[in-house]
Amino acid sequence: MQAKISRRTALHLGAGAATGGTMLAAGSLRAQESVNWRMQALWDANTTPLAFEERFVARVAELTGGQFNIRLFSGGQLVPANQAFDAVSGGAFEMMKTFDGYEAGKVPAFSFTSTIPFGFPESDQYEAWFYELGGLELAREAYASAGLFYVAPTVYGQEPIHSTFPIHTLADMEGHLGRFVGLASSVMAAFGVAVQPMPTGEVYSALERGVIELADRGDLTANYEAGLAEVAQFIILPGVHQPTTATSYVANAAAYEALPDTYKAALAVTAREISSALRQHVLVQDGVALEKFREAGVEIITLDPAEIVAARPRAVEAWRAAAGEDELANRILDSQMAFMEQLGLI
């Protein structure tokens, strides 16, 4: 005969079972191996973007019960920024935060996983392509041949153009020396800019010395922190060369595959958290940074939206030229353009 159990006893037993399940899950997590990685970021020390990478590594550790620890290094601290791709590919360290466009000369597909000049004007549109329309898988395919695994993007808004002379129309840029990278270098060249690619860390001195006259660098807050108000008297908005931006968490493929599934999940979940957090932070701080630039004597110039729309077909021609005969680059571009058509952008 089955004994009767009181409601209070049942509740007590249920609570005990729930606690036990939690303890078992925590115990399983603790039982997993301790993993230590190194990661080099894009950003300089003591900058806002690097602070978000600090949040990234702290959150990964939190989600894995302190068992997956990623030691963070600022841009250039382990290897020069332009050597990070090869260093992570070769296993010198396990992870990097990068901008795919830096390697577009090697892998044409990277032109379209970093930014699309005159393309998606809203960050949510670009992020939707990654998460809803197969962009993540396409980016992973692009990295796989180099022994690298694309974890996830950090997607945020426009980056402005900083200039030493006023720019009121796109034609005003023709013949001037400008720093752009990735697909932006091809597209801006198609609009008559004499493009001078260079690392982010060289932009300030290049503007100061007159090596370039206009430049892309980073978001408004990062650029203010880098002192660009001292060397460029004009900001041009919107940043047509980079209306939305995707930087990337990329790992050595062998190191990634050796991770427990829970650690892989921690990377994916945290990457998306940081993407949203940084995007919202940038959205709020753009207005603050613009006011600081104005106070420093910088003039803010806004391009005519109608001119930007009218210029998009010319940009599309440059996109196709950049994709060339590369099969993967064209698949990515076709996917993005189909979404742009759906959105009424082209």
| Least confident interval from 19-33, 209-223, 225-239, 278-292 | 19-33
Q: Which residues, including other chains, have CB under 8 Å from residue 25's CB and lie 6 or more apart?
A: none
Cβ-contact 108, 329 below 8 angstroms: yes
Q: Quick check: 136 pLDDT over 90?
A: yes
- pLDDT averaged over the chain? 91
Percent with pLDDT over 70 in the chain: 91
Mean pLDDT, residues 6-28? 39
Dist CA 340 CA 333 (whole Å): 10
- pLDDT value at residue 74: 96
Q: Is 326 left (phi over 0), alpha (psi -120 to 50) or beta?
A: beta
pLDDT at 199: 83
Per-residue pLDDT at 82: 87
Residue 31: what pLDDT?
A: 54
Q: Which two tokens stand for residue 292?
A: 């600081």
Is residue 24 pLDDT above 90, yes or no? no
Answer yes or no: is pLDDT of 22 > 90: no
Q: How many CA atoms, within 13 angstroms, populate the side-chain half-sphere of residue 12?
A: 5
Span 234-263, pLDDT tens digits:
999 999 999 999 999 999 999 999 999 999
Label residue 180 by pLDDT band (50, 70, 90). very high
pLDDT at 267 over 50: yes
> What mean pLDDT do residues 187-206 have?
93
Continuous H helices in 237-304: 253-257, 261-295
Give the whole-angstrom CA distance, residue 252 versus residue 94: 5
Instruction: For CATH 3.40.190.170, list the domain ranges present in the chain.
Output: 32-156+245-285, 161-243+293-343
pLDDT at position 182: 87
Is the CATH number 3.40.50.720 carried by domain 161-243+293-343?
no
Span 29-42, average pLDDT: 84
Asked if pLDDT for residue 8 goes beyond 70, the answer is no
Fold of 32-156+245-285: D-Maltodextrin-Binding Protein; domain 2 (3.40.190)
Buried b or exposed e, range 239-266, using 16+ CB within 10 angstroms: bbbbbbbbbbbbbbbebbeebbebbbeb
SS3 content of the chain, % helix, strand, coil (to 5): 55, 15, 30
Asked if residue 89 has pLDDT above 90, the reply is yes
Per-residue pLDDT at 216: 95
Q: pLDDT tier at 67 (50, 70, 90 boundaries)? A: very high
Q: How many helices (H) and strands (E) does the chain have?
A: 12, 11
